[in-house]
Structure 1
Amino acid sequence: MAKVAIVGAGVIGLGWAKLFARGGWDVALADPRPDLDQIVHDELAGLSVTAYPEAGAAADGADYVQEAGPERLEFKHELFAELAAATADGVVLASSSSSLLPTQIAQGCSAADRILIGHPFNPADLMPLVEVVPGEQTSTAAMDRAMQVYGDLGKTPIRLQREIPGFVGNRLQKVFNDQSIYLVQQGIIAAKDLDDLVKASLGLRWATVGPFEGMNLGGGPAGIRHLMENVGSQMTFEIGSPDKSKMGMIVQEVDNAYGNGEQNYEQGVTARDDKTRKILHALDEN
């Protein structure tokens, strides 16, 4: 049985642990938190997962490493040096980071050619996407291996040609979220109504076709050229930016609409994940 070392038992790390274990991997889960054994018992019951307090011990003999620790560069430098020393040549050292570039993480590391980003969307065990991002020294072999591993796990791995801050998914998400905040701040629409609008239009569309495919279909038989020369040519309005000094009103409005707290969070996550599974099941049937 292939062995994966997963470093970090937060939300993302636990998602990876579920995914790899269900995919037939022997999972070594590393985290110094004192309640790790209890977390494995509660969250990963029945799965082939062993808890380790130290990353190096978990990585010993691993065929793949998936890091999901704190987003602090100094921490990752120390961690990846430890992982490099504990693993054999050719073993991919993948970081789940959503904000740090692989070249930054690999700086000064003897295994820089094996370091890359394998960035999931939350929840990591459910959402299909993994962005596979190379650093300046990442080898083609490491990228190929990562694409194979994630693909075999049933993911949709997307290979970026080079690194860029935020990668692709989060860059798109930031632009969309910024415009959403701007529209609510301007009093154009309520936060809850904007969510309903997206779920009834763009969210539903983008679950079946991406932006470019959607534009191509939107132009009819003549495709994207017709769309850009007609309706698209009239999209000349300016796009505003959110006012950072007025974020408090956004927080208050979202709190009023959806609430907060542990129980509320658990209910929301359960509802979100149940709906996501139903959508994925429907898409798989086509």
Structure 2
Amino acid sequence: MNESIKKVAVIGTGVIGNGWIARFLSQGYEVTAFDPAAGAEERTRLAVNHAWPSLEERGLAANASKDRLFFKDDLAEAVSGADYIQENVPEREELKKSVLHTIDQHARMDALIGSSTSGIKPSILQSDMIHPERFFVAHPFNPVYLLPLVEVVGGEQTNKKALEQAGRFFSSIDMKPLTIHKEIDGHVADRLMEALWREALHLVNDGIATTEEVDKAIIYGAGLRWAQMGPFLTFHLAGGEQGMRHMLEQFGPALKLPWTKLKAPELTEELKERVISGCEEYAGDQSVSDLEAKRNEFLVKLLALVEEYWPEESQAKANI
């Protein structure tokens, strides 16, 4: 546990907020949550129970307990005693700015404030805050309680020390903070995923491949390699003994060929139905809960394998 952060608050308890809560609890933190939606507390406790077996398999902190979760009916009260506050309200700029302004007013002066926004620049979100220097984007990936990546992005008014403290905190809860020093819409990881998503939609829309075929193309090809090395190191190996130098000389000209369609296709009713029916047929009689359970079991085993091949002491600190 990070000694300077003992209590955390989570504002907004959808899929991402509940994922944060499960991770924080599993790492031994006391968590105060706030969400005005009816039934939010019940859904959160069910989500934590659902995540807990995977977290137990990964390894719980000595003082980890699901009983250290407390809900508050008032936003100001929820954040007033927290050392770290994670905001996860819907991805609407004005809503986020309003909620963050309220959080900023009632949080302790030394509390850090992070936002899970997947695309909005931190400079925009911190523009109405009284103390914007302690605010940053802390963008995780679903399921937050298992996937370790968190993109940490400061805005124009963010204090460098706040980013450094955030990095130490996330590392202490078994995450891999990726500090992005130049803010951009969509940050880094989502921009990469969106490019692949657009191309996948074109392939389905043009009748070239089904949703199942696109998924299998990733599962049994690039996905297996990316889980270990990522695109650049994968292509480095594709160049043989000369690595990336030979790879770019041999395959570089192909980059000019019009293979890809990075502009998103029109999301027509026909395309939407093709994607929806394709996913439902591929899933068969497996419910979303069934698929989530299989995904979690797979990720626990995969994370152990990744850690075996990339032990902590040999990893370079991820920075952009």
TM-score (norm 1): 0.92
Name the SS of the counterpart of 1:130 in structure 2. strand
For 1:285 and 1:24, locate their aligned partners in 2 and report how far apart those are by CA, in whole Å. 25
For 2:202 and 2:188, locate their aligned partners in 1 and report how far apart those are by CA, in whole Å. 21
Assess, with a 3 A threshold, how the Cα gap between structure 1 residues 279 and 250 changes in structure 2: closer, same or farther.
farther
For 1:220 and 1:162, locate their aligned partners in 2 and report how far apart those are by CA, in whole Å. 33
Give the stretch that moved more between structures: 10-19 or 184-193: 184-193
For 1:39 and 1:272, locate their aligned partners in 2 and report how far apart those are by CA, in whole Å. 20
For 1:164 and 1:207, locate their aligned partners in 2 and report how far apart those are by CA, in whole Å. 25
Aligned counterpart, 1:131: 151
On the 8 A contact 2:239/2:247 being kept in 1, the answer is: yes
The percent identity for this pair of structures is 30
For 2:120 and 2:285, locate their aligned partners in 1 and report how far apart those are by CA, in whole Å. 29
Assess, with a 3 A threshold, how the Cα gap between structure 1 residues 201 and 124 changes in structure 2: closer, same or farther.
same
On the 8 A contact 1:65/1:91 being kept in 2, the answer is: yes
Aligned counterpart, 1:251: 272
Aligned counterpart, 1:164: 184
Q: Is it true that 1:237 corresponds to 2:241 in the alignment?
A: no
Assess, with a 3 A threshold, how the Cα gap between structure 1 residues 21 and 261 changes in structure 2: closer, same or farther.
farther
TM-score (norm 2): 0.83
TM-fit CA distance, 1:241: 4.6
TM-fit CA distance, 1:255: 2.6
Give the stretch that moved more between structures: 200-209 or 40-49: 40-49
Give the stretch that moved more between structures: 172-181 or 30-39: 30-39
Aligned counterpart, 2:209: 189
Q: Is it true that 1:271 corresponds to 2:275 in the alignment?
A: no
Q: Is it true that 1:23 corresponds to 2:27 in the alignment?
A: yes
Name the SS of the counterpart of 2:120 in structure 1. coil
For 2:257 and 2:47, locate their aligned partners in 1 and report how far apart those are by CA, in whole Å. 49
Measured against aligned partners, the alpha-carbon deviations of 1:42-86 in whole angstroms (never above 9, x if no partner) come to 333551100012221111121111111122222222222221122
Moved over 6 A (4+): 260-263
For 1:117 and 1:232, locate their aligned partners in 2 and report how far apart those are by CA, in whole Å. 35
Name the SS of the counterpart of 1:182 in structure 2. helix
Measured against aligned partners, the alpha-carbon deviations of 1:112-143 in whole angstroms (never above 9, x if no partner) come to 11111000011111111100011111110110
CA RMSD of aligned residues (A): 2.2
Assess, with a 3 A threshold, how the Cα gap between structure 1 residues 241 and 78 changes in structure 2: closer, same or farther.
closer
For 1:123 and 1:269, locate their aligned partners in 2 and report how far apart those are by CA, in whole Å. 9
* Total equivalences in the alignment: 286
Corresponding residue to 1:112 among 126, 132, 135: 132
Name the SS of the counterpart of 1:28 in structure 2. strand
TM-fit CA distance, 1:253: 2.8
Unaligned runs of 5+ in 1: none
For 2:196 and 2:47, locate their aligned partners in 1 and report how far apart those are by CA, in whole Å. 33
Aligned counterpart, 1:34: 38
Name the SS of the counterpart of 2:143 in structure 1. coil
Written as runs of structure 1 = structure 2, the 5 A alignment for 1:12-161 is 12-44=16-48, 46-47=65-66, 48-161=68-181
Name the SS of the counterpart of 1:118 in structure 2. strand
Corresponding residue to 2:219 among 196, 199, 203: 199
For 2:299 and 2:292, locate their aligned partners in 1 and report how far apart those are by CA, in whole Å. 10
Measured against aligned partners, the alpha-carbon deviations of 1:164-202 in whole angstroms (never above 9, x if no partner) come to 001111111111111111122223222211110111111
Unaligned runs of 5+ in 2: 50-64, 310-320
For 1:163 and 1:235, locate their aligned partners in 2 and report how far apart those are by CA, in whole Å. 26
TM-fit CA distance, 1:38: 2.4
For 1:219 and 1:245, locate their aligned partners in 2 and report how far apart those are by CA, in whole Å. 37
Give the stretch that moved more between structures: 75-84 or 174-183: 75-84
